[in-house]
């Protein structure tokens, strides 16, 4: 019988306090993306505060290899965050009762009654939009000690990193909304309606507009000269005392002029869509330095994603846990490199048109030999964010290690398909001895290379050729 969320959190607290009391060591294993780094950091910080003997590590996926590593691990108790869905039986066999998974990805029915799986879906909470792993880790930390409520700020970053700002005007819903309010009441975050430009606190206005890729604005995204040109004609002062101004410094009238300039430039069928994506709630951390990329929640989340995606997870976790000195400069460099890489991959994909095949409802992208395995989610999300791909399902594939192929799927803005990508990816991967899963609107899979044609045929039947009439809700 599934317990209530409060009962599960109480169970978690008892487990951890028992470990501390009996001096058992605890290992935290988490994912490499923003949600993974934040959830791992939140729970690790809470454990350290409680006096636990703990270590933390990251993994790009939860696989049989990770399970094997647990067998030889000297730690007594294992916490897995943002990973582990579908592996409960194997964890039981490998670790007995000495593990807990804190997660928000959709899970198979046979895991619903496993008390060591503390997953949002078990409690009627939509893990796709209402809470992420960072939020689940926060709730577990707050159950451990209510003084951990200050970790709510990092949980906001995790929800932004997982693009759960799906409410009206990019607001939060459900548990995310509650957690954001806790942070707001404590003065940890300011929540305002504003222009959603990349680098609100750090980038000169023209750069901020040029680097904004969600939404992707044809002619402006990644075109600084065009951005500078329309901003110059808007009448907004772009410099102050010789220094380029950043978006956060604009007053209301200046923001209106910028919006007018963009609207005029995009005056076409996507103008309304683009503007609805460009104005929304911002999450500013007032305790971070002015003009720091940690001051804006979305920029903070991008930095964490960049650390994980280019194998520098430790840097991201150190920042989450409070390191603000040399490590911060390192994180800044990583973020710059990451953005350059994204630009390169997107340019190649758009130039090599043979890599892209399109049906009425789906866009298939072959990123082999271009997109690294760790960047598939980032690139598929960007393709899904382009207004010209509105309403479609995006499926990107690339080569991965050990002769495998990695798939990443996304529903684009305005997609009304009732296909559940989590189920499609998990079921399909299992058919061909692979692994898969995720959320309704964002999921991934990994199969061996020799099964590629069969898996592509499976996608053809179950996604690509499914007519839009049966997709409408």
Q: For 364-416, how does the pLDDT look when each residue is reduced to its tens digit (9 = 90+)?
A: 999 999 999 999 999 999 899 887 898 999 999 999 998 999 999 999 988 99
Q: How far is 257 from 244, CA to CA, in rounded Å? A: 17
Q: Where are the alpha helices (DSSP H) in 312-415?
A: 313-320, 326-351, 376-385
The arithmetic mean of pLDDT across residues 297-304, rounded, is 95
Using alpha carbons, select from 358, 376, 386 the residue that is nearest to residue 222. 386
Evaluate if residue 470 carries a pLDDT over 60.
no
Of 163-167, 234-238, 289-293, 296-300, least confident by mean pLDDT is 289-293
Task: Supply 460's token pair.
Answer: 């053809």
Share of the chain above pLDDT 90, in %: 82
Phi, psi (rounded to 5 degrees) for 194: -160, 180
469 has a pLDDT exceeding 70 = no
Q: Which candidate, 314, 315, 337, 313, places its Cα nearest to that of 326?
A: 315
> Is the pLDDT score of 97 beyond 50?
yes
Q: pLDDT band for position 98 (50/70/90)? A: very high
Predicted pLDDT of residue 207: 95
Q: Choose between 71 and 140: higher pLDDT.
A: 140
Average pLDDT of span 414-427: 94
> In this structure, what are the phi and psi dihedrals at residue 410, rounded to the nearest 5 degrees?
-145, 145
Band (pLDDT 50/70/90 cuts) for residue 473 is very low
Query: 3.40.47.10, 3.10.20.740, 3.40.50.300, 3.10.310.40: which CATH number matches 352-470?
Result: 3.10.310.40
Kindly indicate the confidence band of residue 472, based on its pLDDT and cuts at 50, 70 and 90: very low
Q: Could you read off the pLDDT of 178-192 as tens digits, one per residue?
A: 999 999 999 999 999
At residue 268, does pLDDT exceed 90?
no
Burial, 418: exposed, middle or buried (Cβ in 10 Å; 0-12, 13-18, 19+)? exposed
Q: Is the pLDDT of residue 20 over 80?
A: yes
What integer pLDDT is reported at residue 468 of this predicted model?
64
Chain segment 25-60, per-residue pLDDT in tens: 999 999 999 999 999 999 999 999 999 999 999 999
- In the chain, what is the straight-line distance between the N-terminal and C-terminal CA atoms, in Å? 32
pLDDT bracket for residue 291 (50, 70, 90):
confident
Give the mean pLDDT of 235-244: 94
Query: Which of the listed CATH numbers 3.90.1640.30, 3.40.50.2300, 1.10.10.10, 3.30.930.10 matches domain 5-158?
Result: 3.90.1640.30
> Encoding tokens for residue 163?
């693009």
pTM for the full model?
Answer: 0.87
Indicate the pLDDT class of residue 80, thresholds 50, 70 and 90. very high
DSSP string, 237-263: --EETTEEPPGGG--HHHHHHHHHHHH
Q: Are 32 and 60 within 8 A, CB to CB?
A: yes
Give pLDDT, residue 1.
Answer: 54
Strand partners, 395: 364, 409
Domain ranges of the chain: 5-158, 193-347, 352-470
Round the average pLDDT of the chain to a whole number and report it.
Answer: 93
């Amino acid at each position: 019988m599934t317990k209530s969320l409060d009962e599960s959190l109480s169970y978690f607290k008892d487990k951890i306090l028992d470990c501390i009391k009996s001096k058992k060591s605890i290992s935290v294993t988490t994912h490499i993306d923003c949600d993974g780094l934040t959830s791992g950091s939140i729970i690790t910080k809470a454990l350290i505060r409680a006096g636990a003997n703990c270590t933390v590590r990251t993994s790009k996926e939860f696989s049989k290899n990770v399970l094997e590593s647990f067998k030889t691990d000297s730690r007594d108790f294992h916490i897995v965050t943002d990973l582990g869905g579908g592996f409960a039986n194997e964890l039981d066999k490998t670790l007995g009762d000495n593990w807990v998974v804190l997660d928000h990805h959709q899970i198979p029915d046979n895991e619903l009654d496993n008390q060591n799986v503390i997953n949002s879906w078990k409690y009627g909470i939509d893990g796709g939009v209402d809470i992420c792993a960072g939020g689940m880790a926060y709730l577990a930390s707050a159950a451990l000690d209510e003084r951990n409520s200050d970790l709510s700020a990092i949980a906001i970053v995790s929800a932004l990193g997982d693009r759960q700002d799906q409410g009206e005007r990019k607001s939060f819903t459900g548990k995310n909304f509650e957690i954001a309010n806790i942070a707001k009441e404590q003065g940890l975050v300011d929540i305002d309606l504003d222009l959603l430009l990349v680098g609100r606190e750090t980038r000169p206005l023209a750069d901020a507009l040029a680097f904004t890729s969600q939404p992707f604005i044809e002619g402006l995204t990644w075109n600084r000269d065009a951005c500078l040109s329309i901003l110059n004609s808007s009448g907004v002062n772009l410099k102050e005392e010789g220094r380029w101004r950043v978006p956060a410094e604009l007053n209301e009238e200046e923001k209106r002029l910028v919006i007018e300039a963009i609207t005029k430039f995009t005056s076409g069928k996507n103008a309304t869509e683009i503007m609805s994506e460009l104005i929304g709630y911002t999450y500013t951390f007032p305790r971070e330095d002015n003009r720091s990329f940690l001051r804006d929640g979305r920029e903070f989340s991008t930095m964490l994603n960049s650390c994980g995606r280019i194998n520098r997870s430790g840097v991201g976790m150190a920042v989450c846990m409070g390191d603000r000195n040399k490590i911060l400069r390192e994180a800044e460099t990583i973020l710059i490199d990451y953005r350059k890489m994204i630009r390169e991959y997107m340019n190649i994909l758009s130039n090599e048109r043979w890599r892209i095949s399109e049906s009425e409802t789906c866009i298939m992208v072959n990123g082999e030999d271009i997109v690294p395995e760790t960047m598939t989610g980032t690139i598929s999300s960007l393709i899904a964010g382009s207004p010209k791909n509105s309403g479609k399902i995006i499926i990107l594939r690339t080569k991965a290690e050990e002769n495998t192929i990695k798939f990443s799927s996304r529903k684009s803005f305005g997609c009304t398909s009732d296909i559940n990508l989590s189920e499609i990816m998990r079921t399909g991967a299992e058919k061909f001895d692979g692994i898969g899963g995720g959320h309704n609107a964002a999921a991934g899979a990994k199969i061996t290379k020799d099964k590629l044609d069969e898996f592509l045929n499976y996608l053809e039947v179950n996604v690509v050729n499914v007519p839009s009439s049966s997709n409408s809700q």
